[in-house]
Amino acid sequence: MTERISDAEHAVMEVLWKRAPMTATEVADQVVQQKDWSLQTVKTLLSRLAAKAVVGTERDGRRFLYSPLVERDAYLTGVSRNFVDRLFGGKVMPLVAHLAEADELSADDIREIEGLLRELKK
């Protein structure tokens, strides 16, 4: 199973998923636009991710270039699977139903999803 990625780590991953490889400083520059973290914090998160082999490092002179080793897609699948399992008994229906009842779905959302499902049946 894929290594667990914490919330804070996830923010770092999102940056790396957008562009990679990047140096720690580059990553931090991006992350800081979202989260009010220090450079050190971002470095720590990168190290932990590297230790878990969720990101890979490649030496570039005196510094490292970081790249994701786990694809965003695979990660999302795992997390979604887990989420739906734990909270909705593994069924997507109840989740969609719930979001719908909670008025989290706009008419546009509904149309979009219907279109998607129509595609899927082909």
The angle at the Cα of 118, spanning 92 to 93, to the nearest 5 degrees, equals 15
Shortest spacing between CB 30 and DNA, in angstroms? 14
Taking CB under 8 A as the binding criterion, the range among 17-25, 27-35, 41-49, 105-113 that sits at the site for its own copies is 105-113
Site residues (CB under 8 A) for its own copies, limited to 7-26: 7, 10
105 binds its own copies (CB under 8 A): yes
DSSP states of 45-103: HHHHHHHTTSEEEEEETTEEEEEESS-HHHHHHHHHHHHHHHHHTT-HHHHHHHHHHTT
Number of residues that bind its own copies (CB under 8 A): 35
Query: Which does residue 107 bind out of DNA, its own copies, none, counting CB within 5 to 8 angstroms by kind?
Result: its own copies
Distance CA 40, CA 24 (A): 9
Distance CA 36, CA 33 (A): 7
Shortest spacing between CB 39 and DNA, in angstroms? 7
The residues of the shown chain that bind DNA, judged by CB under 7 A, are 4, 6-9, 23-25, 35-38, 40-41, 43-45, 47, 50, 61-64
